[in-house]
Structure 1
Amino acid sequence: MWERIKKFFRINNNKSKTGHLMSRVKHMKNIVLFGPPGAGKGTQAEVLKEKYKLVHISTGDVFRYNIKNSTELGTLAKSYMDKGHLVPDEVTINMLKAEVEKNAEANGFIFDGFPRTAAQAEALSNLMLQMKSQINAMVALEVDDEILVGRLLERGLSSGRPDDANETVIRERIAEYYRKTDILKEYYQKQDKYFGVDGVGSIEEITERLSAVIDKL
C-alpha cells in the first residue's frame, strides 16, 4: 500500500509544464476560508469566487469527484475509508495539487474544508511553495453562537436536515468547529495571516468586509 501512496507523491519533473505553472501560480491570491455552521461560508465562497475569478476548492467535492470517477487517488482514498481509517494527508494534498494544476490560469484559490489541523496547514503551505506561491490568508467569518443557533434552527424548518433541528446537536457542531479551528487560528496568527471578519449582516455587507481583507493581500 505504501508503494502505491509514494507513486502519487513524486514531484512532476516535466520542466516545461511545471515552469509554466509556477509562472502563473506565484501571482495568485490563495485564501483559506472558514466559518462555523450557519455563518454563510458557502454563500460567500460563491460570491467571492465570481468577484475575484478565483477557483473554489471544496475538499468534500474533491473527494466525491475522485471516488465517484474511480481515479487512482479516489480508489486509494476509498480503500482507507472502507476500512474506517482516516485518509492520509498526503492523499488529500495530492488531490488538491491536481486541482491546482488543472486550474493553472486562475487568479487564485479559495480552499474550503482544508486544512483541518496544523499538520495539514503545513502540508498545504509546502504544496504552495512547490508552486512558488503561498497561502495569503486564513479568513474566518465570526458570528455569535446564539445567532448561529437561531439561523440553523430556522433553516431546519425548511431543509429537513435532522442536524439542523436539534439545538443540542447544533451547539455541539459549533463547539467542534471552534476546537478544530483554534489550532489553525494560532498557526496563521503566527504568520500574521489570520483575519476574523464579522459575519452578521446582509450578504452584500459581509462580502464588502471580506473584500476589504482580500483587496489588501
Structure 2
Amino acid sequence: MFNLILFGPPGSGKGTQSEKLIAKYGLKHLSTGDLLRSEIAAQTPLGLEAKSFMDKGQLVPDEVVIGMISSALDNNPNAKGFLFDGFPRTEAQAEALDKLLKLKKTAIHLMLALDVAEAELIKRLLGRGKTSGRSDDTNEEVIKARIAEYHKKTTPVADYYLKFDKVKHIKGEGTVDEIFEVISKEIDGKI
C-alpha cells in the first residue's frame, strides 16, 4: 500500500494532478471535505457528530475527522494506496494520521508539495474565475489572502514530514504532462 499527501496552494494544479495520479497508480482519493459530506449524507454517527459542530459554525474536531479516515481505510481493504487531499492541515493532524496509519500497518510514504510562484497562482486563479463561477477566484486580494493562509497552515505540516525525509518539492509550473512526469518519477522512486 502506498500513501501519498499532495499539497499545493490554490491554483497550483493539485486537482488536475490528483486525477492523473489516481488513474495511473490506482490510488483511492481521500478528500476530507468529501468524507465529511458523505458521512453526513449517510447519517452515520460520525457524520451526525460532525454536522452538530458544523451547524454551530465550529470546526470539526480532529478526532472526528480521523475517525472518518479510519472508516474510509477499513471500507477500502483492497486499495493500492490512498491520496490524501486537504488533510493533514496541522502538525497535530499529521501526528494523529501517522498513529492511525501505524495501527493499520501502513504509513505516509511521500508528501509532494507543488511549488508555484505567487504571480503565476494569481494569474491562474483569475483566469479560472472567469469561467468557474467561483467568486473567490475573481478578487486578487482574496486570492492573496488564500495563498498566505495556505502557506501559514501547511508549512508546519511540511516541516513535520521533513523530519522523516518524506517531503519532495515539485515545480508546479510547465505543462500538465511535464509536471506529472516529475511527480511520477518521485513516486516511482518510492514504490
Tell whether the structures are fold-level matches, with TM greater than 0.5.
yes
Q: Which residue of structure 2 aligns with residue 4 of structure 1?
A: none
- Structure 2 residue corresponding to 1:84, chosen from 15, 35, 57: 57
Tell me the SS of whatever aligns to 2:30. Answer: strand
Q: 2 CA distance for matches of 1:81 and 1:153? A: 30
**Alignment match, 2:170:** 197
Letter in structure 1 aligned against 2:74: E
Matched, 1:185 2:185: no
Q: Structure 2 unaligned segments of length 5 or more: list them.
A: none
Cα-to-partner distance string for 1:161-185 (whole Å, 9 max, x where unaligned): 1111100000110010000111011
1:166, 1:81 → 2: CA distance? 26
Provide the C-alpha distance between the structure 2 equivalents of 1:201 and 1:71, rounded to a whole number of angstroms.
43
Structure 1 gap segments, 5+ residues each: 1-27
Map Cα deviations across residues 18-49 of structure 1 (whole Å, 9 max, x no partner). xxxxxxxxxx1101111100011011111100
Residue 117 of structure 2: aligned partner: 144
- The structure that has the greater radius of gyration is 1
**1:26-84, CA deviations, whole angstroms, 9 ceiling, x for partnerless residues?**
xx110111110001101111110010011011111000111122111100111111122
Q: Please show how residues 6-21 of structure 1 align to structure 2 within 5 Å.
A: none
Provide the identity percentage.
54
Match of 1:112 among 85, 90, 102: 85
SS in 1 for 2:122: helix
Q: What is the distance in 2 between the residues matched to 1:201 and 1:152?
A: 16
Q: Offset at 1:86? A: 2.0
Distance 1:133 1:152 in 2: 36
Report the Cα distance in structure 2 between the residues aligned to 1:173 and 1:100, rounded to whole angstroms. 30
Equivalent residues, number: 190
Q: Taking structure 1 as the reference length, what is the TM-score of the superposition?
A: 0.86
Corresponding letter in the other structure for 2:56: K
Map of 1:157 onto structure 2: 130
